[in-house]
Amino acid sequence: MKLEEAITKRIYALCDKKGITPNKLAGLAGMPAGSLKSIFYGKSKNPGTRTILDLCQALDISLYDFFDDDLFRSKDLEGTY
C-alpha cells in the first residue's frame, strides 16, 4: 500500500470515529477543503507533517495517535516522490 493511501484511510476512519465529515475537518484544521481533497485524490503525493499535525489538532489527537494504527505497521508501505 502507498503511504498516501494509508494516510487517506486513516483520516476517513478518524472522521468517522469523531462523527464529522472531511470538509468539516478541513474547516476545523483551518485549511481549504481542496487541500484535503488533494490528499484524498492523490494530487498531494507527500502530505507534510505540518498538514498532518493541523489535522491531528483539529481531531484533538496527537501525531502518535494518528500513526498508531495497523495501516502504518506494515514494512511494505511505499512512499511516492
Cell numbers representing residue 60 in the block: 484533538
pTM of the model: 0.90
- Cα–chain center distance at 4: 8
Q: What is the assigned CATH class of domain 3-72?
A: mainly alpha
The DSSP letter of residue 45 is S
Residue 44, pLDDT score: 81
Nearest to 46 by CA among 12, 22, 81, 76: 81
Q: What is the pLDDT of residues 58-76, one digit of tens each?
A: 999 999 999 999 999 988 8
